């Protein structure tokens, strides 16, 4: 997608949803996996019964309360999960990241052929519009704002127009745009059309992902789905997300539950990183805590990769360092033991690839529900013996997004659908999907609860508390008021 600065908001009228414009080509004719369809049609009671049967120490009543939780801030999310195991065969789904502007719809096969708007329609009808109905919103129009993933953003706009029968504005909102088509006046979002006229927005779906806090305020009279506090509390802030998981895991102990994550060291200064990498046995993952789409993530498996990272210039002062999940022979031996990738089913060349699972959930009147799923495999197969000259990111990195000079591109050749062709290659079971769903809900609730602590009764950011938890002055200076 090429960035076009200063472009006006487009008016999307009802009756303009065209499948080919909002789904990847390989998705349009894909048939969903029967197992995935079965999972998506399971009711909460059956999911809880199955999970508690396999995890008898889990409090079923407590799990019921969590799966019917109603959030205040983060209404939808996309959780990236790794399927990992130990040498003793203990498998689990591990949360790598929780995203507050998640992709997924354009990669999700239709559940039923006659429902051409698929997950776009499910999210809008079961989550977005019920939220609008229960909140007091200002007068104005609907809008979808974005800074990447135009295919999906425009899909939401077309579906929203079709479902409501109202015109919807689709507006780009790029970081660094000198004349954007989105602004805030007296805490109300406005968008500019091709004639230069500005229109108030009552409710907007936000797909603004790149440092969105530097142009969207925390407090807004326009209903924003999701609000910026969801990003600052962990949806676009890996540092805060790690702390949110730690805080909430203390509560989850009472239910016999836990958010599974790699071992994470937070608030690490640049000059401390070699010490922590050495503490992890030379195998680690270093992350810029505010990056996304696979940017600012570095897998370290040898001295050359660490030296390369240390030679780079970095926009922020603090980092997080995590244990590395790789092959059994070169994963981090952490406090909870050694976990390594289960990986995909071996291909005809006996190659096993790393893959993740993106799990999108959305809040409904009855709790968080799964909306879409897809998987992504790494570029090169997992090896038993790692060559020091090999780029470990090509073996372990699964993100498809590539940042170009003039926008974003996507390596869709590594996209794996949850359809009849691809899903069986992933090696996931029904119980893997159930655990992935529960892990996604728990991690999202953790961020929502921290978000609630970070705003006061006037819906403004509690800046002193935020700085105490996330003491990065560079980030604080980026947050607009």
- Give the residue from 345, 347, 325, 346 showing the smallest Cα distance to 336: 325
Choice between 114 and 140, residue whose per-residue pLDDT is larger: 140
- Write out the E strands in 316-354: 318-323, 333-334, 337-338, 340-341
pLDDT of residue 409: 62
Percent of the chain with pLDDT strictly greater than 90: 85
* C-alpha torsion 415→437→30→23, nearest 10: -70
Distance CA 116, CA 111 (A): 9
pLDDT, mean of residues 239-266: 96
Give me the pLDDT at residue 13, please. 98
Q: CA neighbours within 13 Å on the CB side: how many for 14? A: 5
Q: What is the pLDDT of residue 240?
A: 95
pLDDT at residue 291 is higher than 80: no
Mean pLDDT, residues 351-362: 97
What pLDDT is stored for residue 2 in this prediction?
A: 65
pLDDT at position 317 is 80
388 backbone dihedrals φ, ψ, rounded to 5°: -60, -25
pLDDT value at position 61?
97
Grouping H, G, I as helix, E, B as strand and the rest as coil, residue 97 is strand
C-alpha span between 308 and 301 (Å, rounded)? 12
What's the pLDDT score for residue 471? 83
Cis preceding linkage at 279, omega within 30: no
What pLDDT, on a 0 to 100 scale, did the predictor assign at position 5?
Answer: 79
| Mean pLDDT, range 134-146, rounded to an integer | 96
The kind and range of the H/E element at 452 are helix 430-454
Mean pLDDT of the chain: 93
The 3-state secondary structure of 242-259, one letter per residue: HHHHHHHHHHHHHHCCCC
Position 406 scores a pLDDT of 58
d(CA 94, CA 400): 19
Which tokens hold the place of 455? Answer: 């705003």
pLDDT at 152: 97
Q: What is the DSSP string of 1-32?
A: -B--TTPPPEEEPTT---HHHHS-HHHHT--B
Q: What is the pLDDT of residue 292?
A: 65
Q: In a 3-state reduction of DSSP, which class is residue 469?
A: helix
Residues 6+ apart with CB under 8 A from 257: 58, 62, 63, 66, 438, 442
Q: What letter does residue 189 receive in the DSSP assignment?
A: E
The per-residue pLDDT for 454 is: 97
Least-confidence region, from 212-216, 217-221, 329-333, 405-409: 405-409
Q: What would the pLDDT profile of 194-220 be if each residue is shown by its tens digit?
A: 999 999 999 999 999 999 999 999 999
CB of 351 within 8 A of CB of 343?
A: no
Name every residue whose Cβ is closer than 8 Å to that of residue 253 and which is 6 or more positions away in sequence.
none
Q: Does pLDDT of 407 surpass 90?
A: no
Distance CA 403, CA 228 (A): 23
Asked whether the beta carbons of 35 and 426 are under 8 A apart, the reply is no
The pLDDT score that the predictor gives to residue 20 is 95
Q: Would you say residue 402 has pLDDT above 80?
A: no
* H-state helical runs in 259-360: 273-279, 303-311
Mean pLDDT of all residues in 307-316: 90
428 torsion bin: left (phi>0), alpha (psi -120 to 50), beta (else) = beta
How confident is the model over 436-451, as pLDDT tens digits?
999 999 999 999 999 9
Query: What's the rounded mean pLDDT across residues 304-327?
Result: 92
Point out the least confidently predicted range of 29-33, 243-247, 336-340. 336-340
Average pLDDT over residues 360-366: 97
| pLDDT of 183 higher than 70 | yes
Are residues 145 and 206 in contact, defined by beta-carbon separation less than 8 angstroms?
Answer: yes
Return the structure tokens found at 22. 């909002």
Does the pLDDT at position 274 exceed 60? Answer: yes
Contacts of 53 (CB under 8 A, 6+ apart): none
Summarize the confidence of residues 314-326 as an average pLDDT: 90
């Amino acid at each position: 997608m090429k960035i076009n600065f200063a472009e006006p908001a487009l008016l999307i009228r009802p009756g303009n949803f065209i499948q080919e414009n909002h789904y990847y080509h390989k998705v349009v004719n894909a048939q969903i996996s029967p197992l995935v369809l079965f999972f998506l049609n399971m009711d909460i009671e059956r999911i809880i019964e199955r999970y508690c049967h396999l995890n008898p120490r889990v409090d079923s009543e407590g799990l019921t309360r969590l799966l019917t939780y109603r959030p205040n801030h983060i209404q939808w999310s996309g959780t990236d999960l790794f399927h990992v195991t130990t040498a003793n065969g203990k498998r689990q789904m591990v949360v790598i990241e929780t995203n507050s502007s998640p992709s997924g719809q354009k990669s999700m096969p239709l559940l039923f052929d006659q429902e051409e708007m698929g997950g776009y329609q499910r999210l809008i009808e079961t989550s977005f519009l019920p939220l609008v109905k229960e909140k007091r919103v200002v007068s104005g129009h609907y809008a979808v704002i974005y800074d990447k993933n135009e295919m999906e953003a425009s899909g939401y706009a077309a579906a929203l127009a079709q479902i409501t029968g109202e015109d919807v504005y689709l507006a780009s909102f790029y970081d660094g745009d000198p004349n954007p088509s989105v602004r805030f006046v007296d805490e109300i979002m406005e968008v500019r059309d091709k004639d230069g006229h500005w229109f108030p927005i009552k409710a907007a779906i936000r797909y603004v992902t790149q440092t969105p806090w530097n142009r969207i305020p925390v407090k807004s009279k326009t209903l924003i789905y999701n609000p910026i506090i969801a990003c600052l509390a962990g949806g676009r802030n890996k540092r805060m997300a790690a702390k949110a998981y730690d805080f909430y895991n203390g509560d989850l102990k009472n239910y016999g539950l836990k958010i599974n994550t790699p071992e994470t060291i937070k608030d690490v200064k640049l000059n401390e990183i070699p010490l922590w990498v050495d503490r992890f046995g030379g195998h680690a993952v270093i992350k810029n805590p505010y990056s996304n789409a696979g940017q600012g993530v570095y897998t370290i498996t040898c001295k050359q990769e660490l030296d390369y990272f240390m030679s780079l210039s970095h926009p922020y002062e603090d980092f997080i360092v995590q244990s590395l999940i790789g092959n059994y022979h070169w994963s981090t031996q952490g406090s909870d033991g050694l976990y390594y990738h289960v990986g995909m089913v071996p291909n005809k060349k006996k190659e096993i690839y790393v893959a993740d699972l993106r799990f999108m959930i959305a809040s409904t009147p009855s709790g968080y529900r799964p909306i879409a799923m897809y998987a992504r495999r790494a570029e090169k197969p997992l090896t038993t013996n790692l060559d020091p000259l090999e780029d470990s990111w090509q073996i372990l990195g699964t993100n498809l997004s590539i940042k170009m000079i003039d926008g974003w591109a996507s390596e869709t050749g590594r996209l794996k659908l949850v359809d009849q062709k691809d899903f069986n290659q992933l090696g996931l079971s029904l119980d893997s999907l159930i655990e992935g769903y529960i892990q996604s809900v728990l991690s999202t609730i953790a961020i929502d609860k921290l978000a609630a602590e970070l705003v006061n009764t006037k819906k403004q950011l509690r800046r002193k508390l935020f700085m105490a938890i996330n003491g990065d002055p560079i980030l604080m200076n980026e947050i607009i008021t």
